[in-house]
Amino acid sequence: MTTDVQSLTTNAGTIKSLIDAKDKLYKSVLALAKDNGISVNHNNNKSKGSGTLSGIIKQLQEKGFEESSVNLFDIETCAGMSQVADISNESIFKQLQFDENDYSAMLIEQREIIGDLSGKVTKYEEEIRVLKKELLKLTEKNI
């Protein structure tokens, strides 16, 4: 419609009506976002982290949307998000400029955390195994 001057003058009315329609849609979307508190300027939930992925997923889980947990798992395990996290961590690491004592302290703390989390994983895996066994028994009784 705007490839040359002749097309532009011929289609001026159509172009104006398209621009007007776009403006109306834009205003409608902004009003809807404002009414629902999801626009940046009119957000009803001003708590720290509420606009982050984790904050939004938490809100969805609180409202009973089970799919949000699946989506969070997919996002946290995808390669692209892992690359972004690695780049971010590398940038932070370069800015901090640690010395040898800092490295030693971090390694000790990381080892403690890994040990704690490994113990929790083992505990939860056993709980899952027991629950699966109980579920199997219950389903066999109901068949």
What would the pLDDT profile of 98-141 be if each residue is shown by its tens digit? 888 888 898 999 999 999 999 999 999 999 999 999 999 999 88
- In this prediction, residue 70 carries a pLDDT of 62
Q: Are 12 and 25 in contact (CB under 8 A)?
A: no
Our measurement of the distance from residue 121's CA atom to the centroid of its chain's CA atoms, rounded to an integer in Å, reads: 24
- In this prediction, residue 116 carries a pLDDT of 95
43: pLDDT strictly greater than 60: no
5-9, 10-14, 134-138: range with lowest mean pLDDT:
5-9
What would the pLDDT profile of 57-97 be if each residue is shown by its tens digit? 778 778 887 776 666 666 666 777 778 888 988 888 888 88
What would the pLDDT profile of 21-35 be if each residue is shown by its tens digit? 999 999 998 888 887
- In this prediction, residue 109 carries a pLDDT of 95
Cα angle value 100/102/108 (rounded, 5°): 105
- Closest by CA position to 42, among listed 56, 31, 50, 58: 31
Q: How sure is the predictor about 41, in pLDDT bands with cuts at 50, 70 and 90?
A: low
pTM of the model: 0.36
